[in-house]
Amino acid sequence: MSEKATITLEGKNFELPVITGTENEKAIDITKLRDLTGYITLDSGYKNTGATISQITYLDGETGILRYRGYPIEQLAEKSSFLEVAYLLIYGTLPTTDQFDDFSKKITRHTLIHEDMKRFYEAFPKKAHPMAVLASMLCTLSTFYPESQQTNRPWEEVETTVHRLLAKISTISAWAYKNSVGHPVVYPQNKYNYVENFLNMMFSMPTEQYEIDPVIVQALDKLLILHADHEQNCSASTVRMVGSSHANLYSSVSAGAIALWGPLHGGANQEVIEMLQKIQADGGNYKKWVEKAKDKNDSFKLMGFGHRVYKNFDPRAKIIKKACDDVLNKLGINDPILDLAKQLEEVALNDQYFVERKLYPNVDFYSGIIYKAIGIPTEMFTVMFAMGRLPGWIAQWKEMIAAKEPIGRPRQIYTGETERNYVPIAKR
């Protein structure tokens, strides 16, 4: 007999089904709760609420496990490539050689963006944050491909949107940077692979061809893999929520980019470097800043620390910390910021406040140091996260549409005024 949960309300018992995932995760299915009992559940920030049933990513925050489609993140980061991982997330299986070649070719074919889009770049202020530019441009793509706005399109047609998005995000992102520094944009070139192409568009100049360094390509590819999906996080949930109203895929991932931008989510990587630079400029007294982070009367938080689901360690942070050492060694860079980060981590990890709350370095703590070492400007850090996360957003959107999930529409408990009569302004 399948397991049931019994809930007692106002002296009556109600039975609700229990759902068990393939990794033995358990949930009480409350889909019928309101119909049966008149009650809803309340869970601010969805800390205990499963929003969907998913086959994409498995994450165990207690033991620090992260797997895409069953494959451990450690193996993928070491042996795979970002495009292969993108295929895995979106299609559910690792590609054969033919499938991978076809997928890569299609993405390469779509890297150019419409010339008319250049006019948007010209209109943005030079100081525009590249995340604002990225999100705007992702949504703008839907105006160039209006057929994407039709609902219930067959997957073969949606697939072109998927290829376009994966291809164009690197051009859009690199051009956002070029625009911010007032340099001419660099067009994509088919001879390069995904990461090489991005680096070339970022750093080549009319005066000087950028020399592609395999150490940098490898490091960036690894970072993109580590960011590729993270189950029902804030931005993926946003993509699913927006997509559930049948908004098109371009707009749905644009909304995801905006959710990612916030400093509590992907925006933390920029905040981490800025925090470390601030501590360094303040004389490097990191202990003082740890004390500030603990002080409830101080709004300062240790950026790059803590996670909603990881309560032991963030497996991505572990891989990135090692990659960070490797990259800096190989490039011969001695960045005092890395030493500061390590000292800060050491103090925080041994401090009762952080131990009790299970606060550990997350993916963003060390990623900024690698981005900095390979020349990515600070304001572009979250854009790099978005480029990595795009296949995850697409996979989450695809799964949600395929499952014909209903429109996302939470309920609430109202605590405002009860009914009262309108009083004309002269009588108030």
* Residues 28 to 57 in contact with ligand CMC, rule: CB under 6 A: 45
CA distance 359 to 310: 8
Asked if residue 308 binds ligand CMC (CB under 6 A), the reply is yes
Taking CB under 6 A as the criterion, the residue among 67, 69, 230, 372 binding ligand CMC is 230
Closest residue to ligand CMC, judged by C-beta, is: 306
Decide the pairing of beta strands 12-20 and 71-72: unpaired
Q: Which residues, listed in sequence order, are joined to residue 16 by a DSSP beta bridge?
A: 5
Q: Which stretch binds ligand CMC (CB under 6 A): 215-223, 274-282, 296-304, 327-335?
A: 296-304
Taking CB under 6 A as the criterion, the residue among 173, 179, 233, 254 binding ligand CMC is 233
Q: Which stretch binds ligand CMC (CB under 6 A): 60-68, 194-202, 300-308, 335-343?
A: 300-308
CA angle 392, 398, 400 (to 5 degrees): 100
Neighbours of 85 (CB within 10 A): 26
Taking CB under 6 A as the criterion, the residue among 88, 107, 293, 369 binding ligand CMC is 293
* Residues 336 to 365 in contact with ligand CMC, rule: CB under 6 A: 357, 359, 362-364
Cβ-contact 389, 256 below 8 angstroms: yes
Nearest to 382 by CA among 372, 366, 368, 393: 368
DSSP percent split of the chain into helix, strand, coil, nearest 5: 55, 5, 35
Asked if residue 301 binds ligand CMC (CB under 6 A), the reply is yes
Nearer to ligand CMC, 19 or 65 (CB): 65
Q: Which stretch binds ligand CMC (CB under 6 A): 64-72, 107-115, 194-202, 306-314?
A: 306-314
- Helices and strands in the chain, H and E counts: 18, 6
For residue 27, give the H/E element and its range: strand 26-28
Taking CB under 6 A as the criterion, the residue among 249, 303, 370, 374 binding ligand CMC is 303
Cβ-contact 236, 59 below 8 angstroms: no
Encoded one letter per residue, x for contact with ligand CMC by CB under 6 A and - for no contact, window 239-268 reads -------------------------xxx-x
Nearest to 249 by CA among 395, 132, 116: 395
Catalytic (active site) residue 183: no
CA distance 204 to 185: 9
Q: How far is the CB of 320 from ligand CMC (least distance, A)?
A: 11
- Name the active-site residue from 110, 227, 265, 307: 307
Q: How far is the CB of 290 from ligand CMC (least distance, A)?
A: 9
Asked if residue 307 binds ligand CMC (CB under 6 A), the reply is yes
Q: How far is the CB of 224 from ligand CMC (least distance, A)?
A: 14
Catalytic (active site) residue 114: no
What lies within 8 Å, CB to CB, of 177 at 6+ separation is 130, 202, 377, 380, 383
- Name the active-site residue from 221, 229, 314, 364: 364
Neighbours of 426 (CB within 10 A): 5
Encoded one letter per residue, x for contact with ligand CMC by CB under 6 A and - for no contact, window 186-225 reads ----------------------------------------
CA distance 339 to 321: 12
Cβ-contact 328, 339 below 8 angstroms: no
Residues that bind ligand CMC (CB under 6 A): 45, 230, 233, 264-266, 268, 293, 301-308, 357, 359, 362-364
Residues with active-site annotation = 307, 364
